Structures are given as structure tokens and as C-alpha cells.
């Protein structure tokens, strides 16, 4: 698989791939998903990606496997970016308070 296919979004935080950049202020909720079969995306996460992408569940299932995979990847990346943004905003607020 080509590097561009492995990381089609190429999103970075401070020069580091966002998927590798650590989050310092993670809150562990204890919530987890388990796929029906190892290696598959849990259905709840796929349904969330479906909603995020603006599809109905029926229309989502009509997409090709590659399109659904890209949709789940975008969904995951979006949420990872939101975590990093929230952390950066909190860091900036802490600096202003000092």
C-alpha cells in the first residue's frame, strides 16, 4: 500500500502525524466497542460514521467497502482532531491565566 493511501489526510500537530501525537489530557470514560469479528469496525462506530457523513444507514450500506472505510477513517480523524483542538484551547487558556 502506498504511503498516501495509508495516510490520505496527512494531518499534523506540531510537525508530528496527528495519529502519533500524544494527547496529554485524556479522560478515560471506560466506554469501549467490540466488533463482531476481530478486524471489523464495530457496528456502532460505523453507524456513527454514517451519520457524520450525512447518509442514512440504508444508503451507507449501498456504498462500496472502500467508500465506507474512507468514511470511517474521516470520522475517526475528525474526532481525533477535535480532541487535539480542545487540548490546545485548554493549554492556551491555562497560559493566559498565569
Query: pLDDT tens for residues 55-96?
Result: 999 999 999 999 999 999 999 999 999 999 999 999 899 899
| Residue 91: count of CB within 10 angstroms of its CB | 12
How do the domains of the chain map onto residue ranges? 3-97
Q: List, for residues 6-22, the tens digit of each pLDDT value.
A: 556 789 898 888 888 88
Asked if residues 77 and 18 have their Cβ atoms less than 8 Å apart, the reply is yes
Q: List, for residues 26-45, the tens digit of each pLDDT value.
A: 888 898 888 888 889 999 99
Give the Cα separation of 77 and 91 in Å (integer): 21
Amino acid at each position: 500500500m502506498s504511503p498516501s493511501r495509508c495516510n490520505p489526510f496527512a494531518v499534523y500537530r506540531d510537525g508530528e502525524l496527528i495519529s502519533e501525537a500524544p494527547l496529554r489530557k485524556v479522560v478515560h470514560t471506560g466506554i469501549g466497542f467490540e466488533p463482531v469479528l476481530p478486524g471489523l469496525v464495530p457496528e456502532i462506530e460505523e453507524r456513527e460514521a454514517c451519520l457524520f457523513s450525512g447518509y442514512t444507514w440504508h444508503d451507507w450500506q449501498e456504498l462500496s467497502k472502500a467508500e465506507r472505510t474512507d468514511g470511517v477513517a474521516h470520522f475517526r480523524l475528525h474526532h481525533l482532531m477535535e480532541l487535539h483542538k480542545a487540548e490546545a484551547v485548554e493549554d492556551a487558556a491555562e497560559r493566559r491565566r498565569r
